[in-house]
Structures are given as structure tokens and as C-alpha cells.
Structure 1
Amino acid sequence: MPTAPIRPTEPDRGMSTGDATALSTESARTEIPDAADIPVVILCGGMGTRLREASEKLPKPLVDIGGKPVLWHIMKTYEHYGFRKFVLCLGYKSDLIKNYFLAYRAQVADFTLTLSDDHTPQFHNAVGDEKWEVTFAETGLLTGTGARLRRVAQYLTGPRFMLTYGDGVGAIDVGAVLSDHVKSGRLGTVTGVRPSSRYGELETDGNAVTLFAEKPPQTGWVSGGYFVFEREFIDKYLDDDPALLLERHPLQQLARDGELTLHNHDGFWMGMDTFRDWTELNQLWDSGSAPWRVWTD
């Protein structure tokens, strides 16, 4: 998962009083939306080359935490805050992601199958009965993150959408992220996080160590994903270059234009980038203290 440092900018929000179109746009941006109407785009096309011990035969979003794909954990987080519509940007081993959801309920629920009939299962419980609407979009094997988003624009018909990566979990109130975005009136919002350093930090006096901090939080904000964008961001900042990376020119230019808001998240967040990350996330889940489990079922 790309984690770029964030440098907040203070935009000039001045506007001509005679510009009726601009006024209309600003008014639409500040309306409080219903989460159930907002699609959540999840980037699911990466290969996860640094996670081969856990994902050699799977696309990264299907690598499990506690027996469920990390993608499922991400979707459950959004569902907890009222989001129901998902658009998955598929790439590497996309067939496995499709098949997981096509057989989703049969994998987790009790059912009876009458073989002499039409093979329609009769389910006996509500397990696996998530009220999700999931669009599966083939966006290419080696496509850049920005190009993947561009290729699903046809499925984003409303005024705004959520976006995140398919390999990071966090105790993030995505409803609050949306609220901050709407209040800002800007085109985009990114969730800033302070993940723990992978190394112990030392404070010294000469050659004497005066403080040893095991994996302290980083001091600066980095991008943790969990974005919100106005739909016009796609038309203004994304082109048809198949190698276009969202984290390069589009977001950098958005920040320079004063159109990117920071949502501060001081709580738990972790990208599943390495085998060590995968092991740690599974240990947290198995211990019953996974901080990102905000749902109750």
C-alpha cells in the first residue's frame, strides 16, 4: 500500500459571487449524504509481491485474517457505518475474488440442496447474508491505481464516492471521514495515520542510551487510504494513461490546488504489506482484541 507523507495546504476558497455554477457546486458539496447511497471503491488489483509466503496462490485482498479475507474485513468496516455499495477494481487473479463472492453464502451458512431440482440452495440461517451490492470491474493486470479508478468511473454516478486500498485495516470511523469531507467543501479527503515504526527508537547522550522505545509511532502523518472524493475529481485529475498512479500526479496536484483535506486518525491502522504484517494482524485477531473490529456480528 502506498503511504505518502502528507503536507497540509491552506487553500484560497474565494469565489466570485456572480458565478452561479460555482455556488451550486459548493452547495451540493455541503449537503449531508446518506452513506447507503455512496459507492465504496476498493483497489484490489495488486499482486502482493512482498507477501508471497501468505499469498503465493491468492490475490492480496483474499489473504486471510482470522479465516476471512482482508477485503472482507475492510467491507465490514464500511458496512458498520452504513455503506452498502462496493466497486472492486480487479486485476491479478480476479477470478478468485469473483468466485469467493459468487459462493460466499454457501461457504459460511447451513443449506439444503435438492439435487433432483434446479440446485437452488435452501439456506437455514442468516449467516453470510450481508446486504451488500458489489460491482466487479476488470481494470487490467498491470494498471496503475489512478487508471483503475478511471476505468470504473461509469459505475460512479453520484456526486461523491469513497476509495481505499484492499490491503489495510484500521479502527477508522469512515462516517467521520465523510463528514469532514463534506464540511471542507473540497474535492478530496485523505485519512492521515501515524503507524508504528518498524524499528526501535533510541535517544542518546553521547554513547549512552537514555531511552529505548519499541516501535514508536511515526511523528508525521502518512496516507492511510480511506479517501473521499467528489465525482468531478475523476474528470479533472485523471487521464487515460494505463500507468497513471493515483498517488503521484493526481493527488499531488490536488494538494497543490488546495483541494485535499486531511482527516486525522490517531487510532489503530495497519497496512498488510509483508509476511510480518500478516502474522501480527492474525495474532491480534486470534487474541480477540483486533482494534479494527468495530462491527458486532
Structure 2
Amino acid sequence: MKVVLFCGGQGTRLREETEYRPKPLVEVGGRPILWHIMKIFAHYGINDFVLCLGYKGSNIKEYFLNYEAMNNDFTIRLGKGNQVQYHNMHGEQDFTVTLANTGLETMTGGRLKQVSKYIDDEIFMVSYGDGVANIDISSLIEFHRSHGKIATVTAVRPFSRFGVLNISDREEVVDFTEKPQIDSWASVGFFVFNRKIFNYLGGDDCILEQEPLQKLAENGQLMAYRHHGFFYAMDTYREYKYLNELWESKNAPWKVWP
């Protein structure tokens, strides 16, 4: 099974980091958040990835082209018969990574449509290059297979960005809750799709999260997998710092691998 990861956004709300590199390469615990996401899938035996590149996509290409050299000791023979011998292999899973330029301004639906030529399985997964979770991927896929619909989206109960006040008729604050969990569900990616999804996608301006998913819902072809565990997206510098604090404290819930 393949996983398509959206890695082309400009990350404008994280300019402290993304001015110099694409958001998927912003590091958590000394490793790009993209690496963390790939490790989550790999823990469940899914090692085949298609990356939809856009903003500073060449940086991501360079990261993978130089991956072995940057993560191993090596001996290089220069001149004729140039050879590189790697030592102390890093022990990563055997990732297969397809890097596809999908345009600087292309929307998510357009990016997914462009990489359809690299998807040869009947079922595949799609997610974002900035969100980590402790989702049971095997259970998610099993749920998708069980209902037989075209699409499954992972849903979580989000937290409010603001503290919530319970105010009495006399304007007294009776209760204060800092960023409570909202009584609704939100899409966080970690999609599972049947190939029929491509029939719902348009050109480069197609936004997956708008008309395609809305049409799927209208046709009774969109199901939700409720995730009650951890999910966190790195959209701002504050969120970047929080994820790094979790990793440094050895309390990163998304680290499902050994």
C-alpha cells in the first residue's frame, strides 16, 4: 500500500522556520517532521511513499538524495570508479520514496490528481506533511475495508484555541476552562481512499477538502474513523516548540515505533 503525503504548502504561519526550508523538513527532536510521519506508517508495515512537492521541493529532494551520507559514516573513493562504502548502517526501514513536483500554487486535490500515475493499488492512503498522531493504522485500514465506501477520513475531537468562560447572569465568571475539547469532530487527514477518488478530482485549483469530499458525503461514500488518541499538527512556531518539548521530555505520544 502507498501513502501520498502533501508536502507542497508554503507554511506561512511558521515563517520563523519555513522561510529557509519547507515545513515537512522543520525538525522535531533533530529529525524532520516528515521523518516522524513516515516512521508512524512504517511501524505498521507501510514503507512506500509518494511526496507531492511544491514550495522549496528541491530541499526535500536533496534530503532524500543525501539521506544515506548524512545518516552514516562512509568511505568514499574519488577519481575513476568513484565508490561510496557506508558504515554503521542507520537501521531504517527500506523506504521507497517517489518525489513528484506538483507545482507551487497547486491545491491538494490537484496535487493528488497529478500523482495518480504513481498509484497502482486499489486502496491507498493520503495525509499531510505536518501532523503526527498515535493512530492505529492497521485498525483504520480494516475499518475502511469493512464499509466498502470510496473514502475514509480520520476524525478527532479538537481543542478550542481559547479559554472558555461560564458567565452568570450577574456577569460573574463561574468557571474557566483553558482550551477545552470541543463537542464536535474535525478532519485531520490520515485518509484511506479507493482509486475511484480520482473521478472526483479536478484540475490544479481543486481543493480536496472542499468539493470532492463534499460530493463524496452527498453520495454516501465518505466515512469517518474516530480517533480518540493523540493528534497534533505543526502549523505555528508555538506548536513547533510544543512538539519539540514533548520529544525532548521522552513523552512523544506519536512515537509508536521502538
The TM-score with structure 1 as length reference comes to 0.84
1:129: Cα distance to partner? Answer: 3.5
2:194 matched residue in structure 1: 230
1:117: Cα distance to partner? Answer: 5.7
Between stretches 186-195 and 120-129, larger displacement belongs to 120-129
Matches of 1:108 and 1:267 in 2, distance apart? Answer: 32
Q: Percent identity?
A: 49
Matches of 1:74 and 1:221 in 2, distance apart? Answer: 22
2:217 matched residue in structure 1: 255
| 3-state secondary structure, aligned to 2:175 | strand
| 3-state secondary structure, aligned to 2:160 | coil
Q: 1:105 to 1:128 in 2, by over 3 A?
A: farther
Matches of 2:40 and 2:80 in 1, distance apart? Answer: 38
Tell me if the contact between 1:108 and 1:128 (Cα under 8 Å) persists in the aligned partners.
no
Q: How does 1:105-144 map to 2 (within 5 A)?
A: 105-116=68-79, 118-127=81-90, 129-144=92-107
Matches of 1:49 and 1:154 in 2, distance apart? Answer: 30
1:276 matched residue in structure 2: 238
1:9 matched residue in structure 2: none
Q: 1:118 to 1:289 in 2, by over 3 A?
A: farther
1:128: Cα distance to partner? Answer: 5.3
1:45 matched residue in structure 2: 8
Matches of 2:251 and 2:81 in 1, distance apart? Answer: 44
| 3-state secondary structure, aligned to 2:77 | coil
Whether 1:208 aligns to 2:172 is yes
* Structure 1 unaligned residues grouped into runs of 5+: 1-37
Tell me if the contact between 1:195 and 1:270 (Cα under 8 Å) persists in the aligned partners.
no
Which amino acid in 2 is paired with 1:185?
A: G
Matches of 2:135 and 2:124 in 1, distance apart? Answer: 17
1:174 matched residue in structure 2: 137
Q: Deviations over 1:29-63 (max 9, x none)?
A: xxxxxxxxx11000111000110012211011111
1:12 matched residue in structure 2: none
Matches of 2:59 and 2:100 in 1, distance apart? Answer: 13
Matches of 1:148 and 1:128 in 2, distance apart? Answer: 31
Q: Deviations over 1:202-233 (max 9, x none)?
A: 22323222222222222210000000000111
1:67 matched residue in structure 2: 30
Q: Which has the higher strand share?
A: 2
1:220 matched residue in structure 2: 184
How many residues are matched? 257
After the TM superposition, list the runs of 4 or more consecutive aligned residues in structure 1 that deviate by more than 6 angstroms: none
Matches of 2:225 and 2:139 in 1, distance apart? Answer: 8
Matches of 1:194 and 1:97 in 2, distance apart? Answer: 32
Q: How does 1:6-45 map to 2 (within 5 A)?
A: 38-45=1-8
Q: Deviations over 1:51-98 (max 9, x none)?
A: 001221101111111111111111000000110110001111111000
Tell me if the contact between 1:146 and 1:244 (Cα under 8 Å) persists in the aligned partners.
yes
Matches of 1:205 and 1:119 in 2, distance apart? Answer: 77
Whether 1:195 aligns to 2:158 is yes
The TM-score with structure 2 as length reference comes to 0.96
1:254: Cα distance to partner? Answer: 0.4
Tell me if the contact between 1:169 and 1:271 (Cα under 8 Å) persists in the aligned partners.
yes
Q: Deviations over 1:235-257 (max 9, x none)?
A: x2012x21110011000100111
Whether 1:267 aligns to 2:218 is no
